[in-house]
Amino acid sequence: MTLLLMAAGRGSRYGKLKQFDELGPNGEFLMEFSMFDAINNGFDHIVVITQKDNVQFLQDHLKTRLPDNIKLDVIVQELTDLPEGTSFSVEREKPWGTAHAVWSAREVIKGPFAVINADDYYGQAAYRNAADFIRSNGENEVYALLGYTLKDTLSIHGSVSRGVCKRDGKRLISVEERTKIEQQSDKITDLDSGLEFDGNELVSMNFWVCRPSIFEQIEGDLRAFMQNEETQKTGEVYLPFVVQAMLQQDKVSVEVIPSDSKWFGVTYADDKDRAVAQLQEMTSGGAYSAPLWAKVPS
C-alpha cells in the first residue's frame, strides 16, 4: 500500500513552505507524523510530490528516518510534465493543481494508494480505516474518501475551503467545494453564498483512497484543461473534481468512511502554535515516541 503526500504547495497564506516547518517536539515535519501513522498500519511505500528545489533535501532527510523496508520516491511536480501532444503558452509559476500532483506519480504507483496533504494532520485512526478498506476491497472501481466533521476542521484565524459531502448512506454522491467557510460567533457560514451549516456535516480534507485507474482520467482532464488559454493562466485541476467526474460517468463508486480522528492543519501562520501544542500533547501522552522515529513502526 502506498501513501502519496502532496507537498508542492508554496504556502502563500502561511508565509513560507509550511511542509518543512519543524512542528514536532523534536523538530519533526508534520508530514513525518502522517508517514509514521501510515507505516504503523501497513503502508510500505511513501511517495512525496514536491518542487524541484526540494527533492534532494527531502530524500536525504527522510532516508535517515524511514525504516529500511519502506520504499521512498520523491517526485517533482513539473509544469512541463503534461500529456503527450499538449503544451502551454502562458507565463505561470504555480503548479497545475492537486490532480496534476497525483498524476506526477503515475510511473511509480502500481497499486492502491492513499492521497493526503503534507501540511495536514489526519489522526492515527484514519490510516487504520484506510488500510482496512484497501485490504477488504480489491476492485479497481471502488475508491474511498475519509470524512471529517466540519466543525472540527475550522480555523479561528480565517476562512477555509472545504468540500462538503453529499451522501447516500456510505456512498458518496458529490463533493461541493465551499471556498470561504468561517465560524462567526455561533454560526458556521459560507461567506460566498451565505449558506449556513450546523457543523456536523462530513467534509473532505483531501484524504482519498484511489486506484491506478485514476491516472487515465486525470490525463484526459488535463488534455481538456490545456485547450483553454484562459484556464492555463490561473486555473488548476483539482483532485476532488476528477473523482467527481468519474462518479458521474459511473466509472467508480466512492465509499465515505468516517475518519474517527481529529484533524488539524496549518493554513495560516497563526495555526502553528496550536499544531505544535497538539503534537507535543500527543507525544507526551505516549501516542508518539520522542523523537518520533526512535521507535520504528512495526
pLDDT at res. 11: 47
**The pLDDT of residue 155:** 81
- Give CA–CA dist 38/3, Å, rounded: 7
Q: What is the pTM of this model?
A: 0.91
- pLDDT at res. 53: 87
Q: 98 near 5, Cβ under 8 Å?
A: no
Residue 16 is predicted with a pLDDT of 40
CA–CA separation, 24 and 58 (whole Å): 17
- Series of mean pLDDT values for 10-residue runs along the chain (298 residues): 87 52 93 97 97 91 94 95 90 89 97 95 97 90 95 86 90 90 89 91 94 96 92 91 93 95 84 92 96 83
203 CB-near residues (< 8 Å, 6+ apart): 147, 148, 149, 150, 153, 162, 163, 164, 165
